[in-house]
Structure formats: structure tokens, C-alpha cells
Copies of this chain bind each other. A is one copy, B any other.
Amino acid sequence: MTRLADLVRAGDRAALGRAITLIESKRADHEASAQDLLHALLPDTGNAMRIGMTGVPGAGKSTIIDAIGSRLTGEGHKVAVLAVDPTSQRTGGSILGDKTRMTRLSVDPNAFIRPSPAGATLGGVARRTRETMLVCEAAGYDIIIVETVGVGQSETTVAAMVDFFAVLQVAGAGDELQGIKKGVIEIADLIVVNKADGDNIKRAEQAVGEYRAALHILTPAHPLWRPRALALSALKETGLDEFWATTQEFFATMRQVGAIEEKRSAQQVGWMWALLEDRMRLIVARHPALKTRLPELEAAVRAGEMTPTLAVSEITSALGLDL
């Protein structure tokens, strides 16, 4: 592990790949080694700009990331692109296509693209991606982009592991403005309207105006940052400078007051409790005394034939955990 840690720190791509494979493995001994490795690497983590991006397939995530990412590597940055896709197990990894869609980054020595780990639960997928992010930071990647297609709660999950969260919308998908998924506008630091090109520009600008109006009535998550909205064209590569300038402005503003560190500390503790809850659910579901009983309890509660309080008491007793 010490040797692997050294190689990762040295930026050895093969070692980075091995480390991530270890993190993604479900073998108990691998999980233990992965934790040893992470523990050794922790002091070298936290030095990247952690950027999250969500958008439906076809919104242009890969094109935007490829364009901006290759500019950044051109400026001497090292860029890692990770993905969170809770369906990747079933679909075999809908993000696997990234490598082929990110034509520039995929051949860029200063870029590292990793598809979503497979996993039974979003929590499991997220844990692996978070830990992969840490290893990438230790390997010297100073810009981490985590993308998600926005299945289930994946946007909230990704927002909870990054510093800055961008929501990619598409203008011109019919006359109706593309609705923002429940809960997502709350976590957006920036709303990006793509496909502002050709005869779509007016519609895109109008969409930006409507999103701004909506953001305006929400109390910002941080007093120093009122979420923005802007239009761009990934196809024509227009508006990318503004996108990146806004991102940098966010980090500059937040770093001044130590808000990034604060946010990360809170995210880490939140992550710990989320993991514990995940683990507890697994323990409850697998416990011999509950394996068959839990579905019955859930059904009774769902049908309103049993109070949740009673069901919970039975569960904690079965676990031998009464207060």
C-alpha cells in the first residue's frame, strides 16, 4: 500500500488505475486495503476545484467538459472527469461512452476520465466516486469534474461531494421551458443553458431570463453567492469563457471567507452519517431476524395498519439495540 501510495502521489497513471480498481472492488480484503491506501493519501487530498455537473443525456455535458477541460490542461491544469450513474450496473455503464465522446480529453496526458462505478445503491456508487476523487487529488489532479445524468437523487448526491454545482439545461426542446427537476434548483450554483446557437439563441436567452427570475426569489445557500444563469453553445464553443470565469469567480469569492473548507467539512460529516444510514439499512435488511419480517413491517406501515413507531421498536429490538 505504501508503495502504491507513493506511485499515486508521483502521478503514475497505472498506479492511479490500480488504486481506483481497489476502491471499486467489493472484496472485503480489497475494501480494507483501499481504506489503508486512502488513509495514507488523505494528507495529499483536497487541493482540487471540485466541480459537479448534471444534465440529461444529450444536454451536452461531454462536449462542454471536453472543450473546457482541454483548455484547462492547455493552461497546465490536470483534469479528472468522474461520473456518478446509479444505473451503470444495469446498463453496463451509460457513461462509458464518455471516453469516446470526449475526443480531446480522452487522448490528453493531463486528463483522466473514469466512468461511473457500478453499484447496487446510489450511496455505494457515491462512496466509490468520492474516494476516487480523493485519490485523483493525491495524484495531482487540481480540477475534478463529477458529472451525473440525474437519475433518482444523483444530483443531490453529487452536489454533496463538490464545491460548485452546475445544472445544464437545454433550450429549444419544444416551446415549453425545460423544467428543473424537483430539488435541483436548490443546489444549483449555476444554471447553464446549452444550444444557444443558430435560431435557438433567442429562446436560450429567454430561458436564462426565466431561470434568473426563479433563482432571484430563492434565499441563496451562501450569502456571498447568488446562483447565476448563463447561455452557451457547446457546439459553437461560445460562452465557455463566461462559464469558466463564473466558476473561478465562485471559488475566489468563497475562498476569501473560507467557505469552501467549511462546506467540505460539513459534507464530510454529512457523508459519514449518510454512510452509517446506508450501512444500517443493509444490516437491517440482512439481519436473520428481520430478513422476512422487515418486508412485513414495511407493508403494514405502508397500509397504515401499524404505526412506524411500533415497527421501529421491533426492528431495534431484533438488532438487540434497545435504548
Contacts and interface: CB of A to CB of B under 8 A. Distances in A.
Interface in A20-62: 35, 38-39, 42, 45-46
Contacts of A320: 320
Nearest to A298: B269
A39 B276 contact: no
Interface in A271-313: 271-273, 275-277, 279-284, 286, 297-298, 301-313
Contacts of A210: 213, 216-217
Contact of A309 (B35, B211, B273): B35
Contacts of A284: 276
Contact of A38 (B185, B214, B266, B307): B307
Interface stretch (A69-77, A175-183, A196-204): A175-183
A304 B218 contact: no
A13 B277 CA distance: 40
Say how many copies of this protein the assembly contains: 2
A319 B287 CA distance: 14
A315 interface: yes
A114 interface: no
A283 B180 contact: no
Contacts of A309: 35, 38, 127, 131, 275
Contacts of A269: 298, 301-302
Given A35-B309, A277-B280, A45 B304 contact: yes
Contact of A46 (B46, B304, B308): B304
Contacts of A249: none
The 10 closest A-B pairs by CB, nearest first: A272-B308, A179-B219, A214-B214, A275-B312, A265-B302, A271-B308, A272-B301, A276-B312, A214-B217, A268-B301
Given A134-B307, A183-B186, 8 more contacts: A39-B310, A45-B304, A182-B221, A183-B183, A214-B217, A272-B298, A272-B308, A319-B321
19 contacts: A35-B307, A38-B309, A39-B306, A39-B307, A42-B305, A42-B307, A131-B307, A131-B309, A180-B218, A185-B218, A210-B217, A211-B217, A268-B304, A271-B301, A271-B308, A276-B312, A277-B280, A319-B321, A321-B321
